[in-house]
Each structure stands twice: as structure tokens, then as C-alpha cells.
Amino acid sequence: MATSKQQFIDFFPRLVADLLRDLDELEALPESKAWIKRVLELNVQGGKMNRGLSVVDALAVLRFRAGTELTTADRERATILGWCIELLQAFFLISDDIMDASITRRGQPCWYRRPEVGMIAINDAFIIEMFIYRILKKYFRADAFYIDLVELVQDVTFKTELGQNLDLITAPEDDVDLNRFSMDKYRYIVRFKTAYYSFVLPVAMALMLAGIQDPKAFQQAEAILLPLGEYFQIQDDFLDCYGTPEMIGKIGTDIEDNKCSWLINQALLLANPDQKSQLHQHYGKRNAEDVAAVKAIYQDLGLKQRFHDYESQSHTDIIGLIKAVDPALVPHQIFLDYMSKIYRRTK
């Protein structure tokens, strides 16, 4: 029997075929269909798929609590919603890579970096986003929660874009000013840019599929999942600096990109006046010497150990939050599964 992950992967060609049939109904020309098929296959697949798989996993926990197992229909519906999140992720990543002038993504050149693509990638991202709503309409229009589901995706997309907005205006690449940075801004950025779509959205979708309507269940889930998302993004920031391209599937560029990352915010809190001056001089510059100078200050400030201390404390704190949740509203296992996937991850 195929694993849950393999079943998830195996469903993707069927979804692509559905979307291409949509294009047939719109009398799309063969070259458009071929292009869009390639857009989907090269941008939506290839990641770890944790977000998409989390819908299936969370629904399985909810069914188990109710004394049943996932039916074939359950698995299919959760898989479809999981792929909707992966489409949303692809939409964000294509756009993000352009804005950040990134080089690689998932071990391959960024989509916009391909000679035949360039700025066509912007429209490709729009198409991917719109496919989400065509999928929701096709598979969930008859469900009582359909409008809530559509509004959930819209709300999470908007929040993610607000997080991206603050990220970009706080740290424009052509105007480096570390005085704009603060941990308060950082927390807003990571909660809105990452936590809602990566953590809150999959569980909220699973709760809807399970027929749960109590607003308190959604509120309690969010109260755990937002801190989990913040922890996840801080890991990402650490790995961007200290992970290798082989480990993380991309070349980290947060220092060059003038990113308002956890590391630079911690450095600014800990640095003496001379170190702060050096950070202002070297941060946000696109050459190896400046990057090395910033990393040397990180080393002097002991940021690696500070991250490991933070990681241990966050694990303790989040486990405490989980224990405080009423399991009658949301099973603890949903959150514990998340924690087991991301705690001390290396990619």
C-alpha cells in the first residue's frame, strides 16, 4: 500500500489534468496549455509538501478522535485541499524569488531565471493563484462550508501579502537602514508572511472537512499554530545563514537581501557600538567580503548558540501551550505532530 505521502504525490497529475480540462473549456490554444502544464509541474511539485500533507494528517487525527479512520473520500478531499496550499505556496515563491532577486529554489534555477521565462513568471504566478479557486469551486461548491473555505483562503492570502509588504518596506534592498528593524516588526512579518498559510491554514481546512464549526476550536488552534509558525521561520532564518545549498535546496541570501531576519535583530540587540557600526556598514551588500564580515560578527556574538538556546526554550513553551488546549476542541496530537516534524530540522 502506498504511503500517505506517495498517495498525495500520485494525485497531482489528476489535478493537473482537471486544470487543463478547464483550459479546454476556455478554448486555450495548445501552446498555452503546454506552457501552463510546465508551470504547474516545475513550480508546484518538488518541495517537502509539509503544508499540503498536514491537511491529510490533521484530518486523520480528527477522524481517529471520533472513532473512525480516513475514508477514501476523506483522503481525496484532504489531498485536494492540501494541493491548494501547495499551489498557494508556488504562487508566493515565484513572486518572492522575483522580489528578492533569488538565484535558486529547491535546487534548481528560480522560475523567472530561466531564459525563456523571465517576467512572464509574474503572470504565471497569477494563473497558479486563480487555479486554487477553480479547484475549490469544482470540488467543494456543494459543501455548506464552501463560502467559509473560500474566505479562509482569501483571508490567509491577504495576511501573507501584508507580511510580505512589511518585509519589503522595512528592508528595501536599495536603502539599507538597520534602524528600521525591531523584534516587534519581525514577529509581525513572520506571523503574517509565514505562520498563517503554513500552519493555520492546513489545520483550519481539516477542521472544516471534519465538520467542526465551533469558533473556539479555530481560535485555540490559531493560538498554538502562530507561535509554531514563528519558531519555524526563525529556523528558516538560521538555516539561510548556516545551512548549505545541499541541505536547504537554495543559496541563502538574507544578508545580501537586507532581510529583517531573526539573526540581524538578535545581533543588533547584542552588539556593542563598534559591532553595530560594522553591521550598518556591511549588511545588505551583495559581495562576499561584506557577507563574511556580517557572519564574523554573528560568530563573535555567539548567535549559533543563542539560536540553539531559543530552539530548546521554544519547544518547552509550545509544549506548555499545547497542554493548555482543551482536547475536546482540538486534539493535542495535531500540534504534537507538527512539532515532531519541525523540531531541530536541518532543511
d(CA 56, CA 74): 8
d(CA 100, CA 256): 10
Q: What is the pLDDT of residues 175-228, one digit of tens each?
A: 899 999 999 999 999 999 999 999 999 999 999 999 999 999 999 999 999 999
Residues whose CB is less than 8 angstroms from the CB of residue 31 and which lie 6 or more positions away in sequence, other chains included: none
Q: Residue 319 class from Cβ within 10 Å (0-12 exposed, 13-18 middle, 19+ buried)?
A: middle
Q: What is the pLDDT of residues 129-179, one digit of tens each?
A: 999 999 999 999 999 999 999 999 999 999 999 999 999 999 887 889 999
Catalytic residues: 48, 91, 96, 100, 105, 167, 193, 232, 236-237
Q: Quick check: 251 pLDDT over 80?
A: no
Q: Could you give all domains of the chain from N- to C-terminal order, each with its CATH number?
A: 1-142 (1.10.600.10), 145-347 (1.10.600.10)
Q: Are 255 and 216 a contacting pair, CB within 8 Å? A: no
User: What would the grid cell of residue 64 be?
Assistant: 481517529
pLDDT (0 to 100) of residue 3: 54
Q: What is the pLDDT of residues 256-279, one digit of tens each?
A: 989 999 999 999 999 999 999 999
Q: What is the pLDDT of residues 81-131, one digit of tens each?
A: 999 999 999 999 999 999 988 888 888 999 999 999 999 999 999 999 999
